[in-house]
Chain A
Amino acid sequence: MLLRFAFAELNLFRVSAMVPEYNEAALALLKKFGFVQEVCRRKALERDGQRWDLYVFGLLSEEWQGQAKG
């Protein structure tokens, strides 16, 4: 729904998302929707006295179009 709005209504070229490595639910959701993990910002977050990676994901309009058809 949100992706349809982004790609079909706003005509965006790409949608990006940033997720910390400990958020497994968000990681699973992004992968389910075809987002590609593009960047791993190593040890970029400090939480609970520990350092965590921060991932950047991207989904391109053409990738989304391909999914919608397939």
Chain B
Amino acid sequence: MNDLFRGELVRFAFEEPEARAKAEVRWQRDTEFIRLADDDPSQLASEKKIKEWFDHQAEEGPKSERVSFSVRTLEDDKYIGFLGLWIDRIHSEAWVGLGIGEREFWSKGYGSDMMKLCQQYVFAELGLARLSLGLHEYNPRALRSYEKCGFRLEGRTRRDIAREGRRYDSLWMGILREEWLQMQQGENR
């Protein structure tokens, strides 16, 4: 059986709130990163405040509808990003969000490796029927990466993001368990 938490370039890890806050306080200063990752307005928070949020999460412990991982490289064991899942068991679906805060690890296959681990977790461990995600049209790098991982573009909500004095579309993607299983068989052949 495959290791659920170990890919070819990265592994899923649990970081203590101190380490997460230390990284996050640097990543939040990179507004390009924040704008690619989310549609919330960029903000700056103190390391102390960020740590309190993570402390709160850590105290609550694992939840069945919310799973989050920190991501470390296998080569240098460097903490480079995060991946989170929002799980709807009624409809057997999860939404994924991920980010690589350390820029030197962009466009080198780390994101795809994170996504492959995530798909394995969602379909082979949680047994869900569908994995979904959303992204902005001004993030073509992410679109290519997700397509490479087998996601299909299911549509775009027109001009629902307002930034830089103009409006951009949001893209919606999804992959079904059957599609993922088919991909796995293709790779093992």
Point out the residues of chain A lying under 8 angstroms from B129, CB to CB.
43, 46, 51
B155 touches A56 (CB 8 A): yes
A46: contacting residue among B92, B159, B162, B172, CB under 8 A: B92
Instruction: Assess whether A31 is interfacial by the CB under 8 Å rule.
Output: no
Chain A interface, number of residues (Cβ within 8 angstroms): 18
CB closest chain-A residue, reference B92: A46
Instruction: Assess whether A41 is interfacial by the CB under 8 Å rule.
Output: yes
Give the interface size class of chain B.
20 to 34
* Majority-rule SS of A interface residues: strand
Instruction: Assess whether A8 is interfacial by the CB under 8 Å rule.
Output: no
B174 touches A44 (CB 8 A): yes
* Majority-rule SS of B interface residues: strand
Q: Mask for B14-36, Cβ within 8 A of A = 1, else 0?
A: 00000000000000000000000
Instruction: Assess whether B149 is interfacial by the CB under 8 Å rule.
Output: no
Instruction: Assess whether B90 is interfacial by the CB under 8 Å rule.
Output: yes
A36 touches B158 (CB 8 A): yes
Pick the 9 closest A-B CB pairs, nearest first: A39-B155, A39-B172, A46-B91, A38-B155, A38-B157, A45-B91, A39-B154, A40-B154, A58-B157
Q: Which residues of B contact A (CB under 8 A)?
A: 90-93, 129-130, 132, 152, 154-160, 162, 167, 172, 174, 176
Given A14-B158, A56-B155, 5 more pairs with CB closer than 8 A:
A13-B160, A38-B155, A38-B158, A46-B129, A51-B129
Q: Which residues of A contact B (CB under 8 A)?
A: 13-14, 16, 36-46, 51, 56, 58, 60
In the complex, 13 of the A-B residue pairs with CB atoms within 8 angstroms, ordered by the A residue number, are A13-B167, A14-B157, A16-B160, A37-B155, A38-B156, A39-B156, A41-B174, A42-B130, A42-B174, A43-B130, A45-B91, A46-B92, A56-B155
